[in-house]
Amino acid sequence: MSFSLSALRWQALRRDYRHLTGFKAGFGFAMLAILLAMGLFSPWLAPHPPNQQDLMAAMLPPDWTGPYVLGTDHVGRDILSRIIYGSRVSLIIAGAVAIFASATGVALGVIAGWFGGWIDDAIQKLVEIFWSFPPLMLAIAIVAFVGQGLGIVIIALTAQRWIPYCRVTRAETIALREREFILSARTLGASDGFIIRHHILPNVMLSIIVMTSFAMANAIIAESALSFLGLGVPPAIPTWGGMLSDARSYISTAWWMALFPGLAIFLTVLGMNLLGDALRSQFDPKLKSH
C-alpha cells in the first residue's frame, strides 16, 4: 500500500468530506421528518386502522397492488398501517426521553460543575451508581417489576440517559467557570442563576443538541428492545419492537412480519445517528460520542 498525501489531494478530500456531512444531515433530517409526519398524520396516511383484523386475510405476503402493500400479520392486520401508527410510540419515547434526560442531566451537570465541593461529589457518586448498571438492565428491571406502560418505559429509559448530559455539562461548566467573561460577570455581582442562564447554558447548548440526536436514536432502539422482550407498552398500542416480537414465531412462514418493522427501526435510528454525526462535525468536532 502506498499513500500519497499531497496538499492538493487533501483539499479535494476535505471537500468530499463536507459533501458527506451534507448528505448525512440531509438523510437524518429526512428520516426525522418522515417519522414526525407518520406520527402526526397516521390516521390519514395509514390505509387501515392499526388494530383492524381480518382473520380470513391473515399472513398475506406483500402485494404492491393489493390492499395490503406490506402484507398482513398473523391476525390479518395491515403491516404498513401498524408501522405508521407504531411511529407514534417511537416518537413519543424518543422525544420524552430526550427532554427528561437532558433536563435532568443538564441541571445536575451545571449544579455539579458550578458549585463543586460536596455537591459535586454527591452528584458524581449518583452518576457512578447509575452508570454501574449495564445500560438496558435497569430499564428491564424497572418495567418488569413496576409494570407495563408508556410512562414507566419513559422513566425506565431516562434512568440512565441523563448521565451523558450530566457528564458533558459538568465538564464544560467547570471549563467555563474560570473563563474571563464569567469571572468578570461575577465581579460585577451577577447572581449564580443569572450567570448559569445567560452564560453557561447558551455555551453548552450545541453539545446538548448533538447529544440529543444520539439519545433519541438510543431511546428508539432501547424501547424496541423492551417491546421485543415483552416489557414495553401495552399491546393495544402498535410498536415496532412489539411487531418484531410477534414476528419471531413466524420468521420462516411470514418473513415480511419481521423484515419491515425491523427496517423501520433501522432506518430511523440510522437517520438519528447520521444527523447527530453531521451536527457534531458541524458544531463540535471534539465531542466524543456518548
Partner 1 sequence: MFVYFSKRLLGAIPVLVVVAGIVFALMQFAPGDAVSMLISDEASEADKARIREAWGLHRPPVVQFLNFLAKAAQGDFGMSFRYREPVMEIVLARLPATVELAMAATLVAVLVGIPLGVLAGARPGSIWDSLASTFSFAGISMPNFWMGILLILLFAGHWHILPSGGREPWGLGLDRITGFLLLDALLQGRGDAFAAALKHLALPAIVLGTNMMGIITQLTRASVQEALHEDFVMTARAKGLSAARVLWRHAFRNALIGVVTIIGLEFGALLSGAMIVETVFAWPGIGSLLVQGISSRDYPLIIGLVLVYTTIFILVNLLIDLAYTIIDPRIRIR
Partner 2 sequence: MRTKLLPLLAALAVASPATTLKAQEPQGARIAVAITETISGYNPYSDPVVLLGSVWCQIYGCITRYDFDKGEFVPYLAESVTSLDELTWEIVLPEGLKRHNGDPVLAEDIVHSIQYLGSNPGSGKAYLVAGWEKVEALDARTVRITTATPDATLRDNLAGVAVTSKALFDQLGDAMFAEAPYGAGPYKLSEVAIGQHIVLERNDDHPLVSPSNPAQIMYRIMAEPEQRVTALANGEVQIAQSVPPQLMQRVEDLPNARIASVNSVEMMFLAMSPKTHPWDVKEARQAVAHAINREAIVRAILQGQAHLLNGPVSEGQIGFDPGFVSPFDYNPEKARELLHSVGLEGVEVTLSTPVGRYTADRQIAEAMVPMLEAAGFTVTLDTPEWATLWANVQQGNVPFYYMGRGSMIDPSRALHQYFATGGSPRIGFADPALDALLNAERAAFDPADRSAKMQAAISHLVEEAPAAFMWQHQMAWGIAEGIRFTPRPADQVNGWEVFVE
Q: Are 110 and 173 in contact (CB under 8 A)?
A: yes
Of 208 and 265, nearer to partner 1 (C-beta) is 265
Residues binding partner 1: number (CB under 8 A): 53
Quick one: how far is CA 164 from the chain centroid?
Answer: 13
Q: How many CB atoms lie within 10 A of CB 33?
A: 11
Of 46 and 143, nearer to partner 1 (C-beta) is 143
Using the rule CB under 8 A, give the single segment among 155-163, 200-208, 227-235, 281-289 that binds partner 2.
Answer: 227-235
State the residue for C-alpha cell 406520527.
39
The answer to the question of residue 259 lying near partner 1 (CB under 8 A) is yes
Q: Applying CB under 8 A, which of residues 225, 231, 275, 279 lies at the interface with partner 2?
A: 231
Distance, in Å, from the CA atom of 231 to the CA atom of 96, rounded to the nearest integer, reads 18
Task: Note the residues at the interface with partner 1 (CB under 8 A).
Answer: 1-5, 12-13, 15-17, 20, 128-129, 131-138, 140-142, 144-147, 217, 221, 224-225, 228-229, 241, 244, 247-248, 251-252, 255, 258-259, 262, 265-266, 269-270, 272-274, 277, 289
Q: Which residues bind partner 2 (CB under 8 A)?
A: 23, 27, 51-53, 55-56, 58-59, 74-76, 144, 147-148, 230-231, 234-236, 246, 248-254
